[in-house]
Every structure is written in C-alpha cells, then in structure tokens.
Amino acid sequence: MNIFHIATATDWAAAKSAGEYTTSTRGRSLAEEGFIHASRREQVAGVFASFYADSEEPLVLLTIDTEQLTVPWSEDPVGNDTYPHLYGPLAVGAVTAVEPLDRGGPTPS
C-alpha cells in the first residue's frame, strides 16, 4: 500500500544524506509530535490546502511503500476520518517516488 507525505525539499535532502526522515509535519519534528503525519492519496490535496499552500519553500510529495517501512504505522482517527501515522523515522528506502509540488499543490491521480 502507498501512503503519502508532504515534505520541504530541504528536509528531504537532509533525510537522503542521513538515511532517514524525521520531520512530522511542517515545523514539527518526530520527537516533538511522536509520529510522522501521512495521508492516503485522496487526502493529499486537502492536507496541502490546509497546511502547506502558503509555504514559500519548495515542497515535494513522498510516496511511501508501507511494505518497506521499518517502523510501525497505523491509520488513526482524526476528526471524522482516519490518517496514516508512522511511529518512528521514515527510512529513505521506503520512499518509492518524490514529486515536486508547486503553488497549485498536487495533481490528482
């Protein structure tokens, strides 16, 4: 199964050097939040609009293969929906695609 995470290009570049990604969400680390926020494909546009649309930094959309994760993950209730959360650092090898995001946000697939 694929899940998705919006990252700054800077955070992703640092993760590639370190071998793992530890940003939970914009401005918050895994250590601060306790998990890394992710979304299902149909949730990406809403997450982008709510939390990243005003970002001045270059953004990328990470596609994460849950079969390649080395940490636990689960779909947790958030409001009236559920969202995937990763409970540990994201291994760079579990990311199967990286797409740039522009001011218009992700394109639906």
CA–CA separation, 72 vs 78, rounded Å?
18
Q: pLDDT (tens digit, 0 to 9) for every residue of the chain, 109 residues total?
A: 999 999 999 999 999 999 999 999 999 999 999 999 999 999 999 999 999 999 999 999 999 999 999 999 999 999 999 999 999 999 999 999 999 987 666 665 5
Q: Can you name the CATH fold of 2-101?
A: ADP-ribosylation fold (3.20.170)
Looking at 1-109, list the stretches that DSSP marks H as alpha helix, in order from N- to C-terminal side: 9-18, 30-33, 44-47
DSSP-derived letter for residue 67 is G
Other Cβ atoms within 10 Å of 37 Cβ, number: 20
3-state secondary structure of 50: helix
Contact 77, 85 (CB under 8 A): no
- The pLDDT score that the predictor gives to residue 49 is 92
Other Cβ atoms within 10 Å of 1 Cβ, number: 9
- The pLDDT score that the predictor gives to residue 107 is 64
- The pLDDT score that the predictor gives to residue 104 is 67
- The pLDDT score that the predictor gives to residue 1 is 96
